[in-house]
Structure 1
Amino acid sequence: MLPPGKIPPEKLRELVFNHLGARGERVIIGSDLGIDAAAIDFGPSVLVASTDPITGAEKGIGFYAVHVNANDVATFGARPKWFLVSILLPESADEKVLAGIMRELHESALKLGVAIVGGHTEVTPGLERPIVVGTMLGEVERGKLVTSNGARPGDAIIVTKWAGLEGTSIIASERSEELERVFGREFVERARAFIEMISVVEDALTANEVGVHAMHDPTEGGIANGLHEMADAAGLGFRVYRERIPVREETLEICRFYNLNPLALISSGTLMIAAPKGRIGDVVEALRKKGINASVIGEFVEDPSVKVIVENGREKPLKRPESDELWKVL
């Protein structure tokens, strides 16, 4: 039986990546491990397309759908422009549920300057909660295209904001009553507000202007899975330092309460960047000038068998999460 969340990499290789239809002549980048978007040649510009479902949240589901998909497009250096969305509703849903989702989609897309250009809506038997599946399209000049598989040995690993932002917000929303009894309403409201930091569009476009080798948006499986995805995509290993990985106190407290690993908690809102040594300071400074927290947490290494984290001075393997920590709560 497959575990909840993303399909394991070995199963993707076996069951998915060898059944991808015709080879598109204009496809620059297609499906592969650690690749969250496709890039298609449109002459002087490149069309970047990404698709993702929102399955682990009900509150704010439209907001998440727009931003999670916009993030994947932005990590290729492209500005998100067009969005298609499929909304699947449980039989228990009424018109207010659909109206609420559409309002969130509209407001989120409007804020990013994105047009909602199509999709599908239906009531689907067998669902317990709504599911929203989005497809975001964006555009970038050919010379500005960045990919998630472009990391090189010696590149610094930079992360923006903090680990586990999306997971913290979802848990605080879905388990608010329980958490308020333990930590108080003010704490829970702060944690819920992490949703406001979920976009990495500004992070990615800013870093790309300076010049970086690769960018990635760590979603399911959090920072830990994101590191594996970037390294696998580039055929590299990595070494990171636990004390350098930024985690908000609210995230730490919630993870302790539910016995979760914050590094394996869904982390939309955090951008992972592979930056050449000569540009580390420039990238960090450019992000900070935009008010975006940035931390250098380690580096990529040539040996793909080296995937380690240094904690309390000791080096140990950083295992790929089998599933996201969020599922333990939801």
Structure 2
Amino acid sequence: MGHGGGGALSAELVEHLFAPAYGNETLSGLADSAAVTLGGARLAFSTDSYVVRPLFFPGGSIGDLAVNGTVNDLAMSGARPAYLSCAFILEEGIELSVVGKVAQAIGDAAATAGVSVVTGDTKVVDAGHGDGVFINTSGIGLIPEGVDIRPQRAVPGDVVIVSGPIGMHGVAIMSVREGLEFGVELISDTAPLGGLVEVMLTATPDLHALRDPTRGGLATALHEIASASGTGVALTERSVPVPEAVVNACGFLGLDPLYVANEGRLVAFVPREHADRVLAAMRTHPLGTGAAVIGECVAEHPGMVVARTGLGGTRVVDLPLGEQLPRIC
């Protein structure tokens, strides 16, 4: 299970097993989506699978995740998402009414994101060999001319910005799955981020790196960029926006909000001279009203993420082995 959690074990699986088998220059970038050229056009291409349990949760469903997750991976390359494929793997015995609700959620989410589901596939597995509904989506989008967003472009001096409060999706899933109550209903933040990225690109096309901190949370996303760029990241712990309900829930469950999954947030590495303008632009968009500067990219401790604590000390933010909360996307 740890190998599917988005942490160190997942990275080892990709680095030592998959990458050597598929090895090519495009894949070696290991971004959220691949940037490829076809017929003179620069396209972003991404695929993802969704096995979340339960299928429906406060703020969304596996259908919303299947659309938003892939759309957001495309947006992290600066692309304008356009088309999706959608494949269902259904367990024998699943009610058709449930499948219909998931399909409708996919259609509604696609309309909200401004994309079309143009092809798909359906398979059915024996009872006991699945978990109701699994979904795979792939997507393509067009990368505007002059946009070059990839983790290798992060450099010392870049300002690190997060688009809003973190930890809501993972805790919302856990609260429903385990029947826990924290005094307030926690709602998943699942949302398509393409519009927010477009607003950021109007402020400056020179965004260095973007990541949506899904499995493994904000800490893992920062580690991936630090590792790819050979730089360090210094967080200011008190500047990271975490809702009080998430703080309380994580305290109760023994979790660190930095490692909890999000499905409607992004983290951006922005040149310092553009940071104020990008932050102001983000705050004009509904999905960026809670945007905040949380740290900077530094030359020290390359490939590492450290957090400056409220007491004036510094702690290393390690890459987790697996996922604190399994089956959250």
- Return the TM-score normalized by structure 2: 0.88
| Superposed CA offset, 1:195-216 (max 9, x none) | 3x53322222222222211111
Q: Distance in 1 between matches of 2:279 and 2:153?
A: 19
Gaps of 5+ in 2: none
Alpha-carbon shift at residue 164 of structure 1 (Å): 1.4
2:12 aligned residue? 10
Does 2:122 correspond to 1:121? Answer: yes
1:250 aligned residue? 245
SS of the residue 2:146 aligns to: helix
CA contact (8 A) 2:52 2:328 kept: no
Identity rate of aligned residues, in percent? 28
1:220 aligned residue? 215
Equivalent of 1:297 in 284, 294, 297: 294
2:34 aligned residue? 38
Q: Distance in 2 between matches of 1:103 and 1:31?
A: 36
Q: Distance in 2 between matches of 1:328 and 1:208?
A: 33
1:205 aligned residue? 198
123 and 266 in structure 1: CA distance in 2 versus 1, 3 angstrom threshold: same
Gaps of 5+ in 1: none
Q: How does 1:51-90 map to 2 (within 5 A)?
A: 51-57=47-53, 58-59=55-56, 60-90=61-91
Q: Distance in 1 between matches of 2:244 and 2:83?
A: 36
CA contact (8 A) 2:3 2:13 kept: no
| Superposed CA offset, 1:54-83 (max 9, x none) | 123311001111001100101111111100
Alpha-carbon shift at residue 305 of structure 1 (Å): 4.7
Moved more, 45-54 or 201-210: 201-210
Q: Distance in 1 between matches of 2:147 and 2:29?
A: 21
Q: Distance in 1 between matches of 2:296 and 2:92?
A: 49
Q: Distance in 1 between matches of 2:154 and 2:87?
A: 33
1:266 aligned residue? 261
What code does the residue aligned with 2:47 have? T
CA contact (8 A) 1:70 1:80 kept: yes
CA contact (8 A) 2:51 2:327 kept: no
Q: Distance in 2 between matches of 1:4 and 1:75?
A: 21
Q: Distance in 1 between matches of 2:89 and 2:154?
A: 37
Does 2:109 correspond to 1:111? Answer: no
State the Cα RMSD in Å.
2.2
Q: Distance in 2 between matches of 1:253 and 1:327?
A: 20
204 and 169 in structure 1: CA distance in 2 versus 1, 3 angstrom threshold: farther
Moved more, 288-297 or 214-223: 288-297
Q: Distance in 1 between matches of 2:132 and 2:161?
A: 36
Q: Distance in 2 between matches of 1:115 and 1:299?
A: 37
Does 2:325 correspond to 1:326? Answer: yes
What code does the residue aligned with 1:323 have? G
SS of the residue 2:252 aligns to: helix
SS of the residue 1:316 aligns to: strand
Alpha-carbon shift at residue 2 of structure 1 (Å): 4.9
Moved more, 311-320 or 289-298: 289-298
SS of the residue 2:326 aligns to: helix
Does 2:177 correspond to 1:157? Answer: no
SS of the residue 2:66 aligns to: helix
CA contact (8 A) 1:31 1:38 kept: no
Alpha-carbon shift at residue 174 of structure 1 (Å): 3.0
CA contact (8 A) 1:158 1:272 kept: yes
Q: Distance in 2 between matches of 1:20 and 1:160?
A: 34
Does 2:151 correspond to 1:148? Answer: yes
CA contact (8 A) 1:31 1:37 kept: no
Query: How many residues in Structure 1 have an aligned counterpart in Structure 2?
Result: 314
Q: Distance in 2 between matches of 1:153 and 1:63?
A: 36
2:280 aligned residue? 285
Q: Distance in 1 between matches of 2:104 and 2:81?
A: 19
